[in-house]
Amino acid sequence: MSKEILNLEPKEVWKHFYELTQIPRPSKKEEKVIAFMKEFGERLGLETIVDEVGNVIIRKPATPGMENRKGVILQGHLDMVPQKNNDVDHDFKKDPIDAYVDGEWVTAKGTTLGADNGIGVAAAMAVLESKDLQHGPVEALFTIDEETGMTGAFGLKPDVLQGEILINLDSEDEGELYVGCAGGTNANLFYKYKEEAVPAGHVGYKISLTGLKGGHSGVDIALERGNANKLLNRVLWTAARAYGIRIADMKGGDLRNAIPREAYAVVTVPEDNSEAFVKYIAEMEQVLRDELSSADPGVTVAAERTETPATVMDTASQEKILDALYASPHGVIRMSTDMEGLVETSNNVAVVRMSNGTFEELCLLRSSVDTAREDLKNVFSSIASLAGGEVTFDGEYPGWKPNMASPILKEMREIYNNRFGKIPEIKAIHAGLECGLLGGVYPGLDMISFGPTIRYPHSPDEKVNIASVQKFWDFLVETLKHVPEKA
């Protein structure tokens, strides 16, 4: 593990980010980082609270002369998305992240970096540790499990926080201030099937669809990258009709908020059709490469002869399931007509898997319009009904409606313009920032979100721009210095 990032500026931020890379913290496995943050706050002699769900709250008094300023809550999440390349040996529950400097960026060797939201957390830690920054009362709220359900924000009690302004440090484009975000819902589709003996004369093949970039299922959804689950289903749908394949196993993706990069199937095919089937797979690889030549040129599709499985899915169920998965929408459903370039509604066909007679399709539906999200839920209810399956919805969280009259927005626009000579862009994001939930628990909060430039979060290509971290830190420091006085 290289320590070269410790030499980057601002050192006070990169120091804490490096510490976070050494602590395993995948979503729902945050015990070590919770303990680390608790020890950090107590070592500084600051009031430190770990609530019943695992969120960590650390309070720092105002610096002399700033006691009458409005209290600021610096908010970020402790967990990170655990994604790695198939050829990388890494256990996110125990191994540190191997971060390194790559030109103008910091990235990791074959895994997600955890800059989402490690840089934001590190900046809040630097504020808490600093002895020379000017600021009013500060609370740092470090939530858990943001990436797979926002259970930390869901579990926050309404009588814990004391501040009037919440600054979320989880945005991913320096020079932009975010004032709104999409809400989301999990869709879970279940289809029953019967296991049958493999037909006589069939041989086994493993189909692998790999090499896609993946990415954040909200932020990157408009990039038109390939979805491994949808592409593999397309391959199998035609192969079933043209070559008589039977499916023994199918799986792809592992996280709701990551566009699936790889998917696999074990199938059988009549031996007489095997040569034509293998040729078809090679042809489909070229078709997909041509279609995705700009967005996802690395896609590969391979057929490897394997041991013939013991059983396969019954024909009737296979046909219905492949049809249902084909009909499931993925990607951008509608663009916003209120804010140029903003995705309004989307879906990610995130996970497919089968075992013990049940085929599962797990999706993440996002929209900044609640009624549009309900309409998309109806689409999946209809698909499940037509295919003889069942659907459930859970994990719903609200969006964050922009408040263009926000006092902190006005203040930060002026600060940025004075500091950097330009007015920052005001945007909403097609992702589930915790501001939506926190604003529901604390309806009086004046909220805003900003951060450094991070690219390809939720994928092994994740990277953070070094220069943007310095600007992000300078902007945060200036903002804390100029927070208005209490009314």
As annotated, the active-site residues are: 79, 146
- Do strands 425-429 and 56-60 pair parallel, antiparallel, or not at all (unpaired)? unpaired
- In what order do the strands lie in the sheet containing 165-168? 47-50, 56-60, 138-143, 72-77, 165-168, 446-449, 176-181, 425-429
Q: How far apart are CA 243 and CA 280, in angstroms?
A: 9
- State the residue for tokens 């003889």: 388
- C-alpha 212/C-alpha 206 separation (Å) is 18
Interacting residues of 47 by C-beta distance below 8 A, sequence separation 6+ = 41, 58, 59
CB atoms within 10 A of CB 171: 26
